[in-house]
Amino acid sequence: MSIEVFRDAWGIPHLRAGDPLELAYAQGHNAAIDRAWQLEVERHRAQGTSAAFLGAGSLDWDRFARQARLADTARRCYARLDEPTAAWLDRYVAGVADGLREGADRAPQFAATGLSPGRWEPWTPMALWLSHHILFAGFPSKLWRRRVMDLLGERAVALFATDGIATSGSNGWLLAPGRTANGAALIAGDPHRFIEDPGIYQQIHLACPEFDVVGLAVPGVPGIAHFGHTGSVAWAITNAMADYQDLYHERLRRTARGGVEALGPDGWRSAAAHTETIEVAGSEPVTVEIVETDRGPVVIGGPDGTDGALSLRYPPRVREELGFAALPALLRARTVADVDRALEKWAEPVNVVLAADTAGGLLHRVAGAVPRRDARNLLRPVPAWDAAHAWRGWHAPLPRAEVTDHAVMANQRGLAAPLGVEFSAPHRADRIAELLAGSGRWTGESMAAVHTDTYLGSTATLLGLLAGLPRLSPAADRLRTQLLGWDRRMDRDSVAAGHYAALRSAVVRLLAAEPVLAPLAEPSGLPELFAPWLSLTARIAFALERLLAADLLAADLPAADLLAADLPAADLPAADLAAADLPAADLPADDRAADDLAGDGLLPGLLTGIDRAELVRTALEQLAATQARDGTAPPTWGDTHRLAPWQALPDPAPTPDPTSDPPPGPALGGDHDCVLATSCIPGLTDLSARASAARYVWDLGRREDSRWVVPFGAHAVPGHPHHRDQLPLWLSGALVPVITDWNRLTKETGDDH
């Protein structure tokens, strides 16, 4: 095969081959060499076998992966592929298989765990893709909303309606040619995900006679799905925040012959059931029963449980389609129209897309598979035996919008509003638009000023309460004065930002301790896997702006309006869920989620017994007293706000000391609602597990002026020169030039990996 591998100064792989199939093989082989450990961890996670070498901490995930039928769904999706796409995928898997042994020999984690590379099936990349994205649509949020409705009343759910730490998001923006210095469009942004080490995005260059593409690939998956530049067209995505997965309350029973039946709209029907054994390193094996009803696989509970069971219905399982046919089509794209046609094949996850080409074409649309169904399905688990909750086809065409000047996507309620319930607060989107308005001659290099902006737009409610407090102690008054004079930037070297974060956390903890909310803090009895969605403290932290807004709590609106609304409260749209979240054609007048939530009165005064100003005063006085008692210099935001990436195994320490704590990660600026979105969980921790998994700028004037960076580096092997060499740049906001001139690259020999 005529395959060549080149590297640039950052170790980024540039692959060149004689045809697309050879190139697919080369991409798989390179992924196995550079990231063997990462690939094998993800393969095991997708199959529900990771506890066999990672231990009991991975058991909850393995159980869910098996119950949700991730691997079996991938098999089915692969079987439905068209022949050219299947052949392309096969060559990628062959490359992985041929490179894994060499890659494993270089990765110390294999020896540390005793793991040997396993067999990659033709469908394994599809299983990885499912594993990465099964929680993207946030179906666990329906567990939280059910809990709130059951414990505090249906309309209380509106108080917490916002995104949170478990929601994967992104920033993205497009500038039309008239807004740039070189007269060509620019696309820039950054996907926000849980930060993994090694990272989930791999910078890569793929070239053959048919196409030449740079972009961010997902190791273990061929092509470049989310962020790419072919030279004449570029594209990028963010999470659309669409709701396209449903949970169903199931009534299950055992039959006399040991089978399982489920109650559906047509009565009791046989359900598929079998058992599987999960091996657990250091513990006894665990047997799990796998049950699937006509709605979907049962992911919580089972036939013998006393609290019922919940099944998960998700599009790839129903349609047996992930949208992988779009991947080779994107590589061949030359124009915005080509990207648009490719995305008609897209399914999972549901994304908002921006694209631009060198001829001036611009695209802003939603892509993916979203079912049509009763609006109540979007809010909480619904009864499996009620035919009203069945799926009724698919939303088509999906929303799109014309771009004339610029477009911003930041998970806010916008283009995808008809397809979802909860969206991010508008602060990031508004701030990006404000920054972009500041210039008409943007360049790729100047985009860093947007990527790294630390202005926190969600401070107004808390600081407003702070400003009105009377009769403070001298120490608390001095602290208030400092906070009210603060520029509201969450810079890592800012003492005032550290004060604000500490005050915010104290307010969150006090609010979480209020008796009216105490039922939500009780154990849920649900699997630990869903704890991030069910944490009362975390939910309060991310909804704090809403919870503290007096106008919102007193608003003369039904709860469904509040659920659909973004802050500030003064801008609440007077629209119910029927109008805001689903096309009217999908909602019979007598069958609206708004009716279920509205009840006979207004939003109940759940928090009317809480003096929010007094709560803020208490938090401020506590913080001032603590600082006075400590007698040390107050911490900056970066002193406590540090990167905490997920690793399947920690990197081997140069001098292991089992008694010492791991060193803290690097200091970070930014915060959840900043453009520099480095999310922590106020009230629990200032550590950031979620941030920019990559940053990019695609220049449609000269691709060579495009830029990118990842949090760590191009290579996953600890100690490798390119393992973490991009981290200082990522921390500072700098970007690495995209090199596409083969004469500026170094050709690799067999010993150069």
The tokens describing 434, both together, are: 């404000």
Burial 156-182 (b: 16+ CB within 10 A, else e): bbbbbbbbbbbbbbbbbbbbbbebbeb
Reply yes or no on whether the pLDDT at 652 is more than 60.
Answer: yes
d(CA 718, CA 710): 16
**What is the pLDDT, as a whole number, of residue 630?**
78
**What is the pLDDT, as a whole number, of residue 579?**
28
- Answer yes or no: do 153 and 290 share one domain: no
Average pLDDT over all residues of the chain? 90
Which residue shows structure tokens 């691709």? 703
CA distances from 35 to 198, 336, 688, 694, 714 (A): 8, 32, 24, 17, 9
- Answer yes or no: do 158 and 250 share one domain: no
**What is the pLDDT, as a whole number, of residue 704?**
95
pLDDT digits (tens, 9 = 90+) for 365-376: 999 999 999 999
pLDDT digits (tens, 9 = 90+) for 562-578: 455 443 322 222 222 22
Q: Is the pTM of the predicted complex or chain greater than 0.85?
A: yes
Which class for 360: exposed (0-12), middle (13-18), buried (19 or more C-beta within 10 A)? middle
- Answer yes or no: do 482 and 603 share one domain: yes
Within-domain flag for 282: yes
- Taken in order 79, 120, 220, 129, the sign of the CA dihedral is positive
Among candidate residues 569, 603, 630, the one where a domain is terminated? 630
**What is the pLDDT, as a whole number, of residue 601?**
34
Reply yes or no on whether the pLDDT at 751 is more than 70.
Answer: no
Within-domain flag for 273: yes
**What is the pLDDT, as a whole number, of residue 590?**
28
Within-domain flag for 739: no
- Answer yes or no: do 156 and 256 share one domain: no
- 3 state SS of 290: strand
Run of H or E including 32: helix 20-47
Within-domain flag for 515: yes
**What is the pLDDT, as a whole number, of residue 413?**
92
d(CA 517, CA 157): 12
Section 716-738 average pLDDT: 95
Among candidate residues 578, 599, 630, the one where a domain is terminated? 630
CA distances from 143 to 336, 349, 591 (A): 39, 20, 22
Section 104-108 average pLDDT: 96
What is the number of structural domains in the chain? 2
Which residue shows structure tokens 């061949």? 332
Angle between helices 124-133 and 70-79 (to 10 degrees): 130
pLDDT digits (tens, 9 = 90+) for 261-270: 999 999 999 9
**What is the pLDDT, as a whole number, of residue 583?**
29
3-state secondary structure 209-265: CCEEEEEEECCCCCCCCCEEECCCEEEEEEECCCCCCEEEEECEEECCCCCEEEEEC
pLDDT digits (tens, 9 = 90+) for 198-214: 999 999 999 999 999 99
pLDDT digits (tens, 9 = 90+) for 142-194: 999 999 999 988 878 888 888 766 666 799 999 999 999 999 999 999 999 99
Residue 292's domain spans which residues?
246-313
Section 644-659 average pLDDT: 71
For the CA atoms of 573, 575, 581, 583, what is the dihedral angle to 10 degrees?
-130
Within-domain flag for 121: no
- Answer yes or no: do 595 and 468 share one domain: yes
pLDDT digits (tens, 9 = 90+) for 291-320: 999 999 999 999 997 778 999 999 999 999
pLDDT digits (tens, 9 = 90+) for 57-66: 999 999 999 9
> Which of 410, 690, 462, 686 minimizes the C-alpha distance to 566?
410
CATH number at residue 292: 2.30.120.10
Within-domain flag for 723: no
> Which of 419, 496, 431, 423 minimizes the C-alpha distance to 458?
431
The answer to whether 44 and 131 have CB atoms below 8 angstroms apart is no
Within-domain flag for 587: yes
Within-domain flag for 411: no
**What is the pLDDT, as a whole number, of residue 649?**
86
pLDDT digits (tens, 9 = 90+) for 470-495: 999 999 999 999 999 999 999 999 99
Among candidate residues 286, 313, 340, the one where a domain is terminated? 313
- Answer yes or no: do 587 and 478 share one domain: yes
- Answer yes or no: do 477 and 609 share one domain: yes
CA distances from 218 to 35, 94, 201 (A): 11, 17, 5
d(CA 730, CA 711): 5
Q: What is the DSSP letter of 693?
A: S
- Answer yes or no: do 465 and 602 share one domain: yes
- Answer yes or no: do 160 and 283 share one domain: no
**What is the pLDDT, as a whole number, of residue 523?**
92
